[in-house]
Amino acid sequence: MKKIKTLHWFIIFLIIVYIFHFITNIYLIFFTPDFMDFLEEVYEYFILGYYTQFVFLPISLIVFLALIFLKKGLRLTIKNGFLMKII
């Protein structure tokens, strides 16, 4: 049960990191600083070019939602004590 609680707190830590990631990514999309204003040649090395920054946001959102569901499942496991019952 101790390992499950540790995993639960680790998932909460990852959720907090993802929240900071979203805030930073959205800020950089709308308010790009001058040093990040790349030339067109740099975007040729990315798979999706300039639109890579817009594609990774939904992927991160899907992972964030998965972490939320995982946290809910772990919370129910801890609350109901499923791993403590002997069959």
Does this model's pTM top 0.85? My answer is no
**Is residue 8 situated within a structural domain?**
yes
Q: Are 12 and 72 in contact (CB under 8 A)?
A: no
What is the structure's pLDDT at 34?
A: 67
Task: Tell me how many domains the chain contains.
Answer: 1
Helices (H), 31-87: 40-43, 52-80
The token duo for 9 is: 């707190």
What is the structure's pLDDT at 20?
A: 92
**Is residue 56 situated within a structural domain?**
yes
**Is residue 6 situated within a structural domain?**
yes
Question: Residue 18, class by beta-carbon neighbours within 10 Å (0-12 exposed, 13-18 middle, 19+ buried)?
Answer: middle
What is the structure's pLDDT at 10?
A: 94
d(C-alpha 60, C-alpha 24), whole Å: 12
What is the structure's pLDDT at 68?
A: 94
The string of pLDDT tens digits covering residues 4-60 is 889 999 999 999 999 998 888 788 777 766 666 656 666 667 777 767 777 777 888
